[in-house]
Amino acid sequence: MYCSGCGQALAPGQGLCPQCGRAAVAPVPQMPGFQFQLETYAGKIKALSVVWFIYAGFSLLVGFLGLAFAKAALSGAFPWMHGPWAHQPWANGGVPPFWFGPAILHLAWVFLILRAILALAAAWGLMERAPWGRIVAIVAAFLNLLKFPFGTALGIWTLVVLLGYRNTTLYQQLPE
């Protein structure tokens, strides 16, 4: 510790400076350094990455089950379902053509696969701490905001952790 007036070195516990007589000022407690902040932020990124992996698997599983059920329902596998696509082709001008239901299902499969790939890419990029991983995760977060409740929660958490000047700086400092 040093005197704030003259710069004289003071012994620990010494109340007055022997050179100028000024009272010694108590040392300021150390604040957590940049390394501590970086390690804390790295833990948050790892947890976020693991949750993105879990979300990708969960959404793929639920989507697969839902689309398999929809395909069975549209093909007439359930006798109690009498929907417009179950057994009727184009009729009375009000029912869509017979190819419409399967086309919608194929489009849903494509969206399901693309969403799962995007979530897996976000998870992998964050896990590897790649520069592109942050961007992919932000895009995936914005696209998942409307997937209530899990997608919304994950999207908000991702945006809070990854956006902002401080978080951008911390992410850039993470070792790959």
pLDDT tens, N- to C-terminus, the chain (176 residues): 678 778 788 887 787 888 888 887 666 555 568 888 999 999 999 999 999 999 999 999 999 999 998 888 767 666 655 555 444 544 455 555 566 777 888 899 999 999 999 999 999 999 999 999 999 999 999 999 999 999 999 999 999 999 999 999 999 999 87
Strand partners, 9: 2
Q: State the residue for tokens 């001008």.
A: 93
Strand partners, 16: 23
pTM for the model: 0.71
Residue 43: how many CB atoms within 10 A of its CB?
A: 10
- So where are the chain's domains? 34-173
Say if residues 28 and 7 touch (Cβ distance below 8 Å). Answer: no
Q: What is the pLDDT of the chain when averaged over all its residues?
A: 84
- Grouping H, G, I as helix, E, B as strand and the rest as coil, residue 150 is helix
pLDDT confidence of residue 134? 96
Say if residues 76 and 86 touch (Cβ distance below 8 Å). Answer: yes
Q: State the residue for tokens 């499969």.
A: 109
Question: What value, to the nearest 5°, has the Cα angle with vertex 63 and ends 61 and 64?
Answer: 65
Cα(51)–Cα(6) distance, rounded to whole angstroms? 56
ω into 96 cis (within 30 of 0): no
Tokens, residue 17? 């400076």
Cα(117)–Cα(124) distance, rounded to whole angstroms? 10
